[in-house]
Amino acid sequence: MSILLSACDSESPVAVESTPVFSTSEFSGGETTIFDASSHAFSTPAPNLSASSLEKHLEGDVEFEANFVTAPAEVNPGLGPIYNNISCINCHARDGRGRPPKVDEKFVSMLFRLSLPKRADAMNGQPPIPVPGFGTQLNNRAIFGTAPEGTVKIDYTEQTLTTTDGTRVHLRYPNYTFTETYQPLPEEVELSPRVALSVFGLGLLEAIPEDTILAYADEADVNGDGISGKPNYVWDVVQQRYTLGRFGWKANQPTLLQQVAAAYHDDMGITTSLFMTESSAGQLQLTEHGATPEVSDEILEVVTFYVQTLAVPARRNVDDPQVKQGEQLFAKAQCASCHIPMLRTGVLAGVPSVSNQTIQPFTDMLLHDMGPDLADNRPDFHATGREWRTPPLWGIGLVKRVNGHTNFLHDGRARDLMEAILWHGGEAEVSRQAVEQMSKVERDALIAFLESL
């Protein structure tokens, strides 16, 4: 093993044996960890919930799965008039991740954010500018009698990358064309494709102290490692001020409460006390105006609690020699500079089960320039068109089991973990090159490590 590693280790004299192995624990989610590698791995309540908390979690589960219908109706009215899907679970199947549609499939668990370009003299960090008649998200479905805003056609351009040892890897680059828009879209519209993120372990991420996250930020790259994690600051509608962004592919939502309310609003057309104006407001077609929120504060709270308290699946095969080799390679290729293996949570008010936990999320919750190939060219508050939040890697080896696919990255373009790595550019250029220069045995070990998460 050491021979293999030192063969491509011309720069650093560090011997393999002394390469720090940062995490050997199976407890990815601290005391919220569950030992379940089945298709339920993402949808199990944290095992350390009290009886009353478990009850609240299960109430939230029911709401997360509830199908909404057109008002007026006895149960779950308020859908639309324009929307992307009718329930949370339809996009976050088994609390896992979405994917782009296959040829001839309709969009289910992927959506497009829209905006107009900012004026050249706009202040840094402004919210995205809505597109007149469309808002900031393309709603591809609508209730009876209302036109959907339109949809998108995806086609892929294939390209080939050859690693140093001559292995050819096929990558696909997505191209998007708007179709069936109910009125013309302005030419300069910016679009950001996003697949649904998984929703387990999120209370832990919300409980990471802000100071801890900011300690990893290095916007001006003072330490000269080429990596300059940057916090996003986004509008918090409850506090009425800009606060640290944590959720969404660009850390574009500050709290789980607001993320959930925004999902009801943007994805399902359902108002809550946080977002009282219908997403169709300002459109010439039908606009519903209600004085009371379509989803109550009680429901909003239990759904938020539900996504705060889903367990994190334990790591598997941590003592497997190949996995251990992959762990060392992960550290050596600087993956751990952004995908921070271990963090400690602070206190999240009202959610003791996620407070004061040692966790292995493999994220720094910060934004990174990932290069032109991954860019969506649509700024989102302080995130530029090339920046994305480091996604947590916990549970990534179970996505296939849970969701039946291995589509990764914000737009699901990667068809497996190696493709996801080989799209890394920008601040992760050095990491990608390190992987390109690995032998097949080493690349297999790196993947085995990721699959153990």
Binding site for ligand HEC (CB under 6 A): 64, 84-85, 88, 90-92, 109, 111, 194-197, 199, 202, 227, 247-249, 252, 256, 259-260, 263-264, 267-268, 303, 307, 330, 333-335, 337-339, 368, 370, 374, 388, 390-391, 393, 396, 408-410, 417, 420-421, 424, 427-428, 431, 435, 450
Q: How far is the CB of 424 from ligand HEC (least distance, A)?
A: 5
Q: Take residue 197 and report the two structure tokens written for it.
A: 């993120």
Rank residues 312 and 338 by Cβ distance to ligand HEC and give the closer one.
338
Q: How far is the CB of 328 from ligand HEC (least distance, A)?
A: 12
- Map residue 184 onto helix, strand or coil: coil
Q: How far is the CB of 221 from ligand HEC (least distance, A)?
A: 11
Rank residues 208 and 263 by Cβ distance to ligand HEC and give the closer one.
263
Rank residues 76 and 283 by Cβ distance to ligand HEC and give the closer one.
76
Q: What are phi and psi of 296, to 5 degrees?
A: -75, 165
Say which residues have a Cβ less than 8 Å from residue 63's Cβ, sequence separation at least 6: 88, 299, 302, 303, 306
- Strand-strand pairing, 151-162 and 168-179: antiparallel
Burial of 57 (0-12, 13-18, 19+ CB in 10 A): buried
Rank residues 51 and 290 by Cβ distance to ligand HEC and give the closer one.
290
Q: How far is the CB of 188 from ligand HEC (least distance, A)?
A: 21
Q: How far is the CB of 142 from ligand HEC (least distance, A)?
A: 13
Q: What are phi and psi of 245, to 5 degrees?
A: -85, 140
CB–CB of 191/376 below 8 Å? yes
For residue 266, the tally of other CB atoms under 10 A from its CB is: 19
Q: How far is the CB of 417 from ligand HEC (least distance, A)?
A: 5
d(C-alpha 447, C-alpha 442), whole Å: 9
Q: How far is the CB of 121 from ligand HEC (least distance, A)?
A: 26
Rank residues 185 and 300 by Cβ distance to ligand HEC and give the closer one.
300
Q: How far is the CB of 110 from ligand HEC (least distance, A)?
A: 6
Rank residues 421 and 448 by Cβ distance to ligand HEC and give the closer one.
421
Rank residues 191 and 435 by Cβ distance to ligand HEC and give the closer one.
435
Q: Take residue 156 and report the two structure tokens written for it.
A: 């892929």
CB–CB of 398/414 below 8 Å? no
Rank residues 184 and 342 by Cβ distance to ligand HEC and give the closer one.
342
Q: 7-18 burial by CB neighbour count: b if 16+ within 10 A, else e?
A: eeeeeeeeebee
Position 121: which residue type? Answer: D
If you search the block for the tokens 């996604």, which residue do you land on?
391
d(C-alpha 304, C-alpha 273), whole Å: 14
Q: How far is the CB of 47 from ligand HEC (least distance, A)?
A: 21
Rank residues 34 and 86 by Cβ distance to ligand HEC and give the closer one.
86
Closest CA to 187 of 131, 110, 129, 111: 131
Q: How far is the CB of 253 from ligand HEC (least distance, A)?
A: 7
d(C-alpha 353, C-alpha 48), whole Å: 6
DSSP string, 390-423: PPP-TTGGGHHHHHS---BSTT--BSSHHHHHHT
If you search the block for the tokens 């480091």, which residue do you land on?
390
